[in-house]
Structure 1
């Protein structure tokens, strides 16, 4: 596919900072080949990794060939990959954080670019979901995860920092049908306390995206050492929580925003919960019914007050 040069590309690549490189990727994105798009999405989501990681390792994380990284660098106006790394290295030497760099890119769009930003964010998430829906290998992995979950004595669920929302949703919905779920929440530094008793008959489903929470990585190692089956929902098949996992659900996290997207990961969570409930038979239905009855007794949900009829 031919690359259509954007007006931004008229600048000397050597003079670009990270924000402008990221902006250039976004400006040229629709004219890139599928492999270059995949590489570009990864660079947008992980600018710090460009500065710190070898080209081969970066390509492995992005799920492309090393030569694709070279082609992307040249498409962006650089002589090669090493030249493209320089703005990222200079940015890290300057002490600016990854989130700040991405936020600066957002602000560079200006007010006029806000509408395009909204559309682009929605389109990127929609494309990621569509890709998952047509990925037979991913569907097979999801079914393998379901078998692990329904056969586990206890399902431990772990996600820290921004990943806690995913872990909590999975635990909350799963527990309505199955009483064997434990949310490892880490309150007051008790992450590893929550794994007491985990063993070969158990499963740990853990969520972690770059930058990976240290305690999540260590907890996955503890669970694996105890013989538990690990289900890793993460951003790369070579992420630290994927290394000892039986099932790895690698999901897209790239987003034009300054923060990685969790929309594809949330979709995976919902699919997993639905799959295990569909497999649960009458026992799962009875558990859900009991949960609903209890919620009704507690008046857990707001109801519109009945209006009194006016006397004639």
Structure 2
């Protein structure tokens, strides 16, 4: 049953990914015949460089595409977005769901041809992602999570692959503050040995990158069925 739920969730995410990409491509392609030469040229550039556009400012995109910055803003609004930032967020959403780490690194290095500018670009990207995260995180959700952890009998921390460092770091901090914790950082037997320990008095924190993997879905599904906070 849990495996089926995991498959259904992952399938829904893949459908969402395809819809996002289709929306971006369809919006641009269907509007190209109605646009001025400058906007049409910009549209073709974006279609060919989606990965790079995700991290460009309106000014950077204007330079790369050979148009003016006002043309970039008018282009985004012509597609139905509130502005260029709105368009770029949809491109970033596609990248998070669709591209793997290797694809992203290759795209970043292609965009940053001046090696001396790599450090600045890295910080620019992280600042953009932090601002986006802040805009999506509500105070209510944050304090609900804090309260759940503070009141929990035990805090279970899940993460795998590149995400292992996050539960390990939080585990270290929570234990220093006197909290009882378990980490779930391996697959298979490690997961099922610890799942049966979860009760309604516990909290479960799961760390995943971009797409929720099957093991994370299984852990969260079991935690909710046990009445734990997630």
Residue 222 of structure 2: aligned partner: 222
Cα shift at 1:15: 11
Higher relative contact order (CA 8 A, sep 6+): 2
Cα shift at 1:166: 0.8
Structure 1 unmatched ranges of 5 or more: 49-97, 231-312
Residue 98 of structure 2: aligned partner: 47
CA deviations 1:171-201 (Å, max 9, x no partner) are 1101111231111222674112122221111
- Go from structure 1 to structure 2 and tell me whether the alpha carbon gap of 1:106 and 1:123 turns closer, same or farther (over 3 Å shift): closer
**Would you say 1:102 and 2:104 are equivalent positions?**
yes
**Would you say 1:167 and 2:218 are equivalent positions?**
no
Q: Which has the higher helix share?
A: 2
Secondary structure of 1:206 counterpart = strand
Residue 247 of structure 1: aligned partner: none
Residue 141 of structure 1: aligned partner: 141
Cα shift at 1:150: 1.3
1:68-217 to structure 2, matched below 5 A, reads 98-109=100-111, 111-112=113-114, 114-130=115-131, 138-186=138-186, 189-217=189-217
Structure 1 length as normaliser, TM-score? 0.47
Between the aligned partners of 1:46 and 1:198, the Cα distance in structure 2 is 30
Between the aligned partners of 1:37 and 1:200, the Cα distance in structure 2 is 41
1:206-285 to structure 2, matched below 5 A, reads 206-230=206-230
Cα shift at 1:104: 3.2
Residue 21 of structure 1: aligned partner: 50
Secondary structure of 1:210 counterpart = coil
Structure 2 length as normaliser, TM-score? 0.61
Residue 88 of structure 1: aligned partner: none
- Go from structure 1 to structure 2 and tell me whether the alpha carbon gap of 1:226 and 1:28 turns closer, same or farther (over 3 Å shift): same
Between the aligned partners of 1:15 and 1:185, the Cα distance in structure 2 is 39
Residue 38 of structure 1: aligned partner: 89
Q: Do the aligned residues in 1 keep the contact of 2:158 with 2:204 (CA within 8 Å)?
A: yes
Between the aligned partners of 2:224 and 2:102, the Cα distance in structure 1 is 35
What is the alpha-carbon root mean square deviation over aligned residues? 3.4
Cα shift at 1:129: 3.2
Secondary structure of 2:210 counterpart = coil
Structure 2 unmatched ranges of 5 or more: 1-35, 60-71, 74-82
- Go from structure 1 to structure 2 and tell me whether the alpha carbon gap of 1:205 and 1:15 turns closer, same or farther (over 3 Å shift): closer
